[in-house]
């Protein structure tokens, strides 16, 4: 099934940042992956999500994820790594790498992740031209362009207007990142109120919509968001949160106890020994069988 076919049915993409996390997501049963800019910067260069990585670093990591899993990958390209020609080159580079989709932000440069700091957006006209440049750069219509608008403290209607402008400019999906609704933080609302706002947002946008937010409202599932009108559900940060929490706890346990044993005694499900990792996640058997096929029998 093509990525566009998946979008027609509704698809969930978990955040990954390297080939290992991508394989774990594939093993869990996901059909699509999201290369998270937040996770990539945190785990590859040890910085907050402030747009500090280069197109070369982003494309290189994407190529490894694709090679390891052969799944559709959606890539966060921030504001396109520079001006219009940078956006054009970024799209060409990632399409050639084998990426299935990118999302392009309307923030000013340098950008900031909306979940960690206040953001600022460029004017509507400039944002639309960015999307048009990205659409112009792709070689085939199979490559999906997602126009993202970040919550900059403006009105709900402004987010809807921008999303519709990006779709009219040729984007295949709009991606409104709604942290607040008319100034009211979503996290202060009840889960039902949050879900109602998400559904209202999707219904107000004149085309396919991508959902990406801090959390799915408690008591709801990704399938509920798809039913509410979203074509792509991106769960960007959950894997990163789980990984850094568990690893940090393990390191502190080793430092205080002098051995990892107490940590694993308390968290036995966290244990995946080297051979188990190699066989269950990294597909050791296929590598051994390949060697057996192509190594001369007398060696």
User: What is the domain-level CATH number for residue 58?
Assistant: 3.20.20.60
Long-range CB pairs of 86-90 (<8 Å, 24+ gap) are 86/55, 87/130, 87/133, 87/134, 87/137, 88/133, 88/134, 88/136, 88/137, 89/55, 89/137, 90/55, 90/134, 90/137
Structural domain contains residue 54 = yes
Structural domain contains residue 151 = yes
**Can you tell me the distance from the alpha carbon of 63 to that of 145, in angstroms, rounded to the nearest whole number?**
18
Within this chain, do residues 187 and 279 fall inside the same structural domain, yes or no? no
Structural domain contains residue 34 = yes
Q: What is the pLDDT of residue 117?
A: 60
What pTM, to 2 d.p., does this model score?
Answer: 0.92
Of the candidates 194, 211, 235, which is a domain's last residue?
235
Structural domain contains residue 299 = no
Within this chain, do residues 152 and 289 fall inside the same structural domain, yes or no? no
* pLDDT tens column, 28-74: 999 999 999 999 999 999 998 888 899 999 999 999 999 999 999 99
* pLDDT tens column, 130-185: 999 999 999 999 999 999 998 766 789 999 999 999 999 999 999 999 988 888 88
Within this chain, do residues 137 and 221 fall inside the same structural domain, yes or no? yes
Within this chain, do residues 231 and 273 fall inside the same structural domain, yes or no? no
Within this chain, do residues 171 and 261 fall inside the same structural domain, yes or no? no
Within this chain, do residues 195 and 251 fall inside the same structural domain, yes or no? no
Within this chain, do residues 115 and 15 fall inside the same structural domain, yes or no? yes
Within this chain, do residues 189 and 172 fall inside the same structural domain, yes or no? yes
Q: Catalytic positions, please?
A: 113
Rg (CA), the chain: 21
Within this chain, do residues 82 and 18 fall inside the same structural domain, yes or no? yes
Q: What is the pLDDT of residue 288?
A: 86
Q: What is the pLDDT of residue 23?
A: 95
Within this chain, do residues 160 and 26 fall inside the same structural domain, yes or no? yes
Structural domain contains residue 115 = yes
Q: What is the pLDDT of residue 51?
A: 85
Within this chain, do residues 87 and 218 fall inside the same structural domain, yes or no? yes
Give the residue numbers spanning the domain of 170: 3-235
* pLDDT tens column, 236-282: 999 999 999 999 999 999 999 999 989 888 888 777 666 677 788 88
Q: What is the pLDDT of residue 112?
A: 66
Q: What is the pLDDT of residue 182?
A: 81
pLDDT confidence band for 115 (50 / 70 / 90) = low
Give me the number of domains the chain comprises: 2
Structural domain contains residue 264 = yes
48's tokens: 């907050």
* pLDDT tens column, 86-105: 999 999 999 999 999 999 99
Q: What is the pLDDT of residue 152?
A: 66
* pLDDT tens column, 180-232: 888 888 889 999 999 999 999 999 999 999 999 888 999 999 999 999 999 99
Within this chain, do residues 190 and 286 fall inside the same structural domain, yes or no? no
């Amino acid at each position: 099934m093509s990525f566009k076919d998946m979008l027609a049915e509704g698809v969930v993409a978990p955040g990954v940042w390297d080939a290992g996390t991508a394989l774990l997501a594939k093993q869990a049963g996901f059909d699509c992956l999201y290369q998270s800019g937040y996770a990539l910067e945190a785990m590859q260069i040890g910085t907050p999500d402030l747009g500090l990585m280069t197109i070369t670093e982003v494309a290189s990591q994407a190529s490894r994820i694709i090679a390891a899993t052969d799944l559709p990958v959606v890539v966060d390209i921030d504001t396109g790594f520079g001006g219009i020609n940078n956006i054009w080159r970024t799209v060409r580079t990632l399409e050639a790498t084998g990426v299935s989709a990118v999302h392009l932000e309307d923030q000013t440069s340098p950008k900031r992740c909306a979940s960690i700091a206040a953001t600022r957006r460029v004017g509507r006209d400039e944002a639309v031209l960015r999307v048009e440049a990205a659409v112009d750069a792709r070689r085939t219509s199979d490559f999906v362009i997602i126009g993202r608008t970040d919550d900059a403290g403006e009105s709900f209607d402004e987010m809807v207007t921008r999303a519709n402008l990006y779709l009219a400019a040729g984007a295949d999906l709009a991606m409104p990142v709604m942290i607040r609704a008319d100034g009211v933080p979503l996290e202060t609302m009840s889960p039902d109120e949050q879900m109602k706002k998400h559904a209202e947002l999707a219904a107000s946008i004149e085309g396919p919509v991508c959902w990406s937010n801090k959390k799915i409202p408690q008591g709801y599932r990704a399938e509920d968001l798809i039913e509410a009108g979203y074509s792509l559900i991106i769960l960007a940060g959950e894997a990163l949160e789980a990984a850094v929490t568990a690893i940090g706890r393990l390191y502190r346990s080793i430092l205080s106890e002098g051995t990892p044993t107490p940590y694993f005694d308390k968290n036995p499900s966290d244990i995946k020994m080297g051979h188990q990792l190699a066989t269950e996640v990294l597909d050791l058997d296929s590598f051994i069988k390949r060697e057996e096929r192509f190594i001369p029998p007398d060696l």
